[in-house]
Structure 1
Amino acid sequence: MTSRMLKSLRLPLAAALAAAALALTACSGGSSAPSDSNAASGGDDLGLMTPGTLVVGMNLQYKPEMYLDDSGNPTGYDVDLLNAMADDLGVKLDIQNLDFNGLIPGLQSKQFDIVSVGLGATDERKKVIDFSRGYVPYATVLAASPNSTRGTNVDDYNQAGVTITALQGSTSEQLIRDTFPNATVATFPDQNAALLEVATGRADATVVEDYILAEFDRSNPNQVKPLDTDDPLALYYGSYGVQKGNTKLTDAVDAFLCKAQNDGTLEKLYTKWMAPTMPAMPEGC
């Protein structure tokens, strides 16, 4: 919700999904002893549409970052972090779940206070909405079958006759075209299909975000593994989208994220939900 680096787009998280719009509400417990004036006023000073309630637009289809559990309740990395944020700000949390393509227009039309779907803060998007600092790292990696003998370097796969898969329309697809111009790109409308193509030996490698690969590995252990390169192919950070001009809310969210980054909350939640190791987060806190 799909790094992490060149995303004028959104990885898997930016691929348009045809999801039926539905709304559901999840309330976090308000802080019993608010620590700042915003929390003390129940969000009155944050420019919220409804004082005391943080309305968040999401697309709950990106396991493990944000999805619906077997009981139909929102869960995942983003949901845990939003509950911690709501508690810190002293507000209730109201999650609205709808199709990805409706999130930014919904934020513009003031259906939500923020959007939580790991958006890349592109120049084009900055024209219509504001962004928080990054809250989730997206590391894009090159992965292949554990039995591959081709090698571990980019040059080993940037060759004619090599097929590399990606999710259709994703950041990863463009990254392959830029990084592996001599290879053949095979795209699929479903992320698992792109991974299975490598697992079954019909393709040589795939370019995918690390947390998606980790989730695939839970269900298909030792079928596709990241190559042991020194650095990810790309690294970028997903941010919260905020209504244009609401600097009070943006500043409050940034303050919470810095606190969560410094006290280890971000890393704890990331390693719980996303991947075994959390990439470095942006400095500046």
Structure 2
Amino acid sequence: MRNSTRLLAAVSLAVMSLAGGAAMAEDTLTFGTDATYPPFESLDASGKFQGFDIEVVQALCDHMKITCTFVNQDFDGIIPALQAKKFDAIISSMSITPERLKKVDFTSKVYNTPPAVAVPKDSKITEPTNAGLAGKTIGAQSSTTHANYATVHMKDAELKLYPTPDEYKLDIASGRLDAVIDDVVVLSEWTKSESGSCCKVLGTLPVDKEINGEGAGIAVRKGDDALREKLNEAIKTIRTDGTYKKIQDKYFDFDVYGG
């Protein structure tokens, strides 16, 4: 839940009111995403969007019989870009939190996984707590729930913020950080990779629902109820018909939807 700002394609969503409900008049939806967050959203070698979130949205659009497209947007500016109508919705591992609900509306959750802390394999840190991290330097992506969590619950550590996870990963691998905080799936997948061989997941953290929210969902503009309801219906359908599980099993060996 999070490089440089990319050129954004502005696609408007036209909605027309009909007796008994609302129907989308356009057959394309554009989603903003910060594609620096594998395995949820990233770019492959050819520049194509990939990841769990991307495949879930493609399944939702298939169900709604519309075309979905994606644009890359830095996480810091992703909500303002949505509000400016640079795209129709956000799919970027964005947690549904009380603070964000003041600015945007959300669908029901797409997944729900806890935060965690990773440290170098030879670290003397033994527990992912304020006491265990006291006096240490911990890295996090800016404008994320994980950065907020560290600010509140790890007050005795020095927090260093980065525009993307790629930068904090480089710094901890180079010995410039003592620990990093992020989603447990993101950290687990990274530490299994060659680039993350420096480090290990120290442990997960107790969820603070005020900070971490109720899971990650799709954000839409305030009052865009027609789109939100369409997406919610599609989420319910792919959860019921097995499509969600098929996508999940491609990426994870556990239930990423959570309780």
Please classify the TM superposition score into its range, dividing by the shorter chain length: 0.7 to 0.9
- Cα deviation per residue 1:122-153 (whole Å; 9 max; x = unaligned)? 44543453210111334210222233343235
Give the 3-state SS of the residue equivalent to 1:227 in structure 2.
strand
Aligned length: 245
Q: Does 1:72 align with 2:47?
A: yes
- Cα deviation per residue 1:189-210 (whole Å; 9 max; x = unaligned)? 4533433444444443221222
Q: Residue 183 of structure 1: which of 157, 175, 178 is its match?
A: 157
Which amino acid is the alignment partner of residue 213 of structure 1?
L
Deviation at 1:84, TM superposition (A): 0.7
Quote the residue 1:281 is aligned against.
258
Quote the residue 1:246 is aligned against.
224
Q: 1:163 to 1:105 in 2, by over 3 A?
A: closer
Quote the residue 1:225 is aligned against.
200
Structure 1 spans left out of the alignment, 5+ residues? 3-11, 26-44
Check the 8 A contact 1:158/1:181 in 2, yes or no: no
CA distance in 2: counterparts of 1:129 and 1:87, whole angstroms: 24
CA distance in 2: counterparts of 1:150 and 1:243, whole angstroms: 42
Structure number with the higher strand fraction is: 2
Quote the residue 1:29 is aligned against.
none
Q: Does 1:146 align with 2:121?
A: yes
RMSD: 3.3
Give the 3-state SS of the residue equivalent to 2:138 in structure 1.
strand
Check the 8 A contact 2:10/2:85 in 1, yes or no: no
Structure 2 spans left out of the alignment, 5+ residues? 12-20
Identity over aligned residues, as a percent?
Answer: 25
Structure-2-length-normalised TM-score: 0.75
Q: 1:168 to 1:104 in 2, by over 3 A?
A: closer
Q: Does 1:90 align with 2:30?
A: no
Check the 8 A contact 1:23/1:97 in 2, yes or no: no
- Cα deviation per residue 1:159-203 (whole Å; 9 max; x = unaligned)? 3x3332323454323322322222333444453343344444444
CA distance in 2: counterparts of 1:124 and 1:49, whole angstroms: 31
Quote the residue 1:20 is aligned against.
6
Check the 8 A contact 2:141/2:162 in 1, yes or no: yes
